[in-house]
Structure 1
Amino acid sequence: MSAAEWKKKCEAEWSLQGAPLPDSLDWKSVYEAKPLGRNLLKNPSPLGLSKDAPPPEPEQRDMPMHGPPRFQLDGDFTGWTTSVEILPYDTSGIPEGVVVCQLPQYSWFSMEQVVDLKAEGLWEELLDKFQPEIFIQDCYEESQVHQSIYQLHVKLLGADKSTVISEHCVNPTEDLSTYSHTWKEVSHVFCNYGPGVRYVHFLHRLKNSFMMDFYPTKFTGSSVIVRPVTTSS
């Protein structure tokens, strides 16, 4: 097909009528990159879990674990930058004089990834003038590990990767009186964010606990999707 035909194909399939479509772009390459409507995160479910199935039940052991405490989930974290923050023991609720043999030790397991929107096939005129919706989604396991087990921080960054144009944070408090062992979905739509967005920085943190055994908080379905629509409000 000709360059004009590739351009028309992109415009029709992605409903980009009214969006800036410069002739200078290689529309065949743009079409093959499919930057709109797909998940731009690499390896979005490194634990191999799906939100379409319930989280796996915690593993029941006959004997407690041996060896040093664990603070990180097993998985393939290719594409992610990971880190572990081991938290100090919480003794605030222990009455004075009470002897405690063991306390749970908590840790935050952090995963982050930066999406280069231009490298994924999006173009500056679309991001600056049309400003398509940037849809964020994540799922974490309902658990009774702690009242705070999940945090999400997503930033839209400029070309220098340091200028924050828009951001969204989630830090829910869990209701420990109920337990249904399901996925909890978190989502947000960035719209009318202004010109200059070139990167999306996605960071989430999951809290794990260790006391004779490892009690993790699982997750799946992390998503950054650019949708070919705009929102007026």
Structure 2
Amino acid sequence: EDSVADGSRENELVGSDRADWKKEADKPRRASRRADAALLEEEAGESPILLQCESCGRNFASDRLERHMSICTKRASKKRKPFGPSAERIKLQEVAQAEELVRQNEKAKKKPTWQQQHEAFQFALKTASAISAGESPPADLPAVEDTRTPCPHCGRKFASDVAERHIPKCPMAKGGNKTSPVTGNRRAGKSPASHDATAPVHSMKQGSHHSAVNSKLTAPR
């Protein structure tokens, strides 16, 4: 019984020491928390005025705004160069835009076909009226530009949309036995040599027949 009582007293002493140690250890933490709370109260009581940056739109205290704006303005003035796939994509877009601009300028300078034909008709009327009135005809009008697309197989010319349909289906490209309207020659098929190959045989047969007839006529009776 005495030993049990002594053990319980030792446990009580150890437990009290632990509690005292925890209290001592928690004192710095409590002090820091109090200091932080006091600092927050001071900052809340001061309520500093925030000013907005003109470059990025963020808000800063008055004593820090000037320094921030000097750095922010420099960053805004320096344009970041693209790199990697985005840089290549931007280059391709710029090239495509430049080519499209050139095409638009050329199209704007070039007169449409109907306008050229109208000018040619007006020129013909002026020329006829000048000749009938005994006056000298006006200067020559430039010829109407042919904007049709020629077929590489048959040589015929079509409008651009019609040529796109005709060229893949052109019979001359497939080797058909059709005469070209441009050259007048027959294309693929049976070659003329195949027909000429029988000519010597036919002539030989005719020659042998004539020689046999002549020999009968000239033979003595």
TM range (shorter): under 0.3
Give 1 or 2: higher strand fraction: 1
TM-score by length of 2: 0.20
Higher helix share: 2
Question: Which has the higher Rg, Structure 1 or Structure 2?
Answer: 2
Point out which structure has higher relative CO (alpha carbons under 8 A, 6+ apart).
Answer: 1
TM-score normalised over the length of structure 1:
0.20
